[in-house]
């Protein structure tokens, strides 16, 4: 995880109100991985999403809203939007984390029951558009412990869908293996020509 | 969109089969660029860096560092150097670690200046 741009900002542990856990040993690591898999299996059947706009231009929200449209129909995959953070398993954060929202972000995150996931959505939340300054933190991971990052300005509903499926481990992450290099003209780049492989369960 | 509409009229189902099967309408999405490293030298890398409005590019010696997370797929780098930059066609970009989104493109023609 890269360090957040806001150097003097609270770390994720301060936001969640919990002390940082001790560094896990081999046995604990294994237990943590098993626990994580179990949580993701549970979330894979039914996941309630709360969206949080921290100063975005609202286009990310438009795309998130499109997920419920008939063409994408995210309910068929067991994802639901909830109006209350107390019912939410996953927090979708959009926008560059304006500092005026610090209290709202903290209250929202603390109100969610654990285990919980945080998805940073859109280029703003990933530190793309705004640098950290007196008004914005600049990226979501300066304030919240982010689990999944979804790039895009705005991310298309398909990209959001893939991000949610990655968050619950129903799709494997694809971007780590891509190089974003192209071959000579006329030759498609390796890894970019093949159609998307679905491994949904 | 017209494709969905026609399919919906024909079969009564408009919903995508996305995770199980590839979605064809994804081909029309704006996607982050892919770089043709052989045709990029240090000067062009600096020009692409200057043209990027969201600080997604910077040059580190003989490598162009591309932060996919910061890219807004605006297409300005493709406009600046269409022979060296092409759309990647990649929309499945979700990452479980921020570091997975930072790509290092080794410039074949790039020497440290």
**CATH code of residue A111:** 3.40.50.12280
Give the global pTM: 0.79
Residue A185 lies in a domain: no
Residues of chain B with CATH 3.30.70.3270: 31-113
Closest A-chain CA to B17: A72
Give tens-digit pLDDT for A5-38.
433 444 444 454 444 555 656 788 888 888 888 8
- Mutating which of A122, A156, A185, A188 best tests the B interface, going by the most B Cβ atoms within 10 A? A156
Give tens-digit pLDDT for A43-87.
877 899 999 999 989 999 999 999 998 888 888 888 999 999 999
The CATH number for B31-113, chosen from 3.40.50.800, 3.10.20.600, 3.30.70.3270, 3.40.50.300, is 3.30.70.3270
Give residue A67's domain range.
Answer: 47-173
Residue A182 lies in a domain: no
| Segment 165-194 of chain A within 8 Å of chain B by CB | 165-167, 170-171, 173-176, 178-185, 189, 192-193
Residue A33 lies in a domain: no
Give tens-digit pLDDT for B15-68.
888 888 888 888 888 899 999 888 888 888 889 999 999 889 988 888 889 999
Classify strands B63-67 and B57-60 as parallel, antiparallel or unpaired: antiparallel
Angle between helices A59-66 and A157-167 in degrees, nearest 10: 70
- Mutating which of B69, B91, B99 best tests the A interface, going by the most A Cβ atoms within 10 A? B69
Encode A2-22: b = buried (16+ Cβ within 10 Å), e = exposed.
Answer: eebbbeebeebeebbeeeeee
Number of domains in chain A: 1
Residue A7 lies in a domain: no
Residue A48 pairs with which residues in a beta bridge?
A: A80
Q: How many CA atoms lie less than 13 Å away from A194 in the CB half-sphere?
A: 8
Residue A187 lies in a domain: no
CB contact under 8 A, A149 and B101: yes
- In angstroms, the CA A133 to CA A9 distance is 11
Residue A138 lies in a domain: yes
- In angstroms, the CA A107 to CA A102 distance is 9
């Amino acid at each position: 995880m890269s360090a957040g741009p806001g150097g003097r900002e609270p770390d994720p542990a301060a936001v969640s109100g919990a002390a940082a856990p001790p560094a896990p040993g081999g046995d604990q690591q294994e237990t943590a991985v098993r626990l994580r898999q179990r949580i993701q299996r549970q979330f894979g059947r039914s996941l309630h999403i709360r969206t949080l706009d921290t100063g975005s231009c609202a286009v990310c929200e438009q795309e998130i809203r499109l997920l419920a449209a008939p063409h994408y129909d995210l309910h068929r995959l067991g994802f639901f939007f909830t109006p209350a953070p107390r019912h939410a398993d996953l927090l979708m954060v959009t926008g560059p984390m304006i500092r005026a929202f610090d209290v709202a972000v903290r209250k929202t995150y603390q109100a969610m029951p654990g285990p919980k996931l945080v998805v940073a959505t859109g280029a703003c939340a990933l530190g793309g558009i705004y640098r950290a300054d007196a008004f914005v933190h600049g990226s979501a991971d300066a304030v919240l412990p982010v689990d999944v990052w979804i790039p895009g300005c705005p991310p298309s509903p398909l990209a959001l869908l893939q991000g949610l499926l990655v968050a619950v481990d129903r799709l494997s992450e694809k971007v780590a293996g891509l190089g974003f290099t192209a071959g000579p003209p006329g030759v498609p780049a390796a890894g970019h020509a093949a159609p998307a492989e679905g491994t949904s369960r | 969109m017209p494709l969905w509409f026609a399919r919906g009229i024909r079969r009564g189902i408009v919903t995508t089969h996305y995770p199980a099967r590839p979605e064809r309408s994804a081909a029309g999405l704006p996607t982050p660029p892919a770089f043709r490293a052989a045709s990029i030298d240090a000067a062009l890398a600096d020009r692409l860096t200057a043209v990027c409005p969201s600080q997604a590019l910077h040059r580190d010696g003989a490598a162009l560092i591309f932060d996919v997370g910061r890219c807004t797929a605006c297409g300005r780098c493709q406009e600046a150097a269409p022979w060296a930059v092409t759309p990647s066609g990649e929309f499945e970009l979700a990452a479980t670690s921020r570091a997975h989104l930072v790509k290092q493109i080794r410039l074949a023609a790039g020497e440290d200046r």
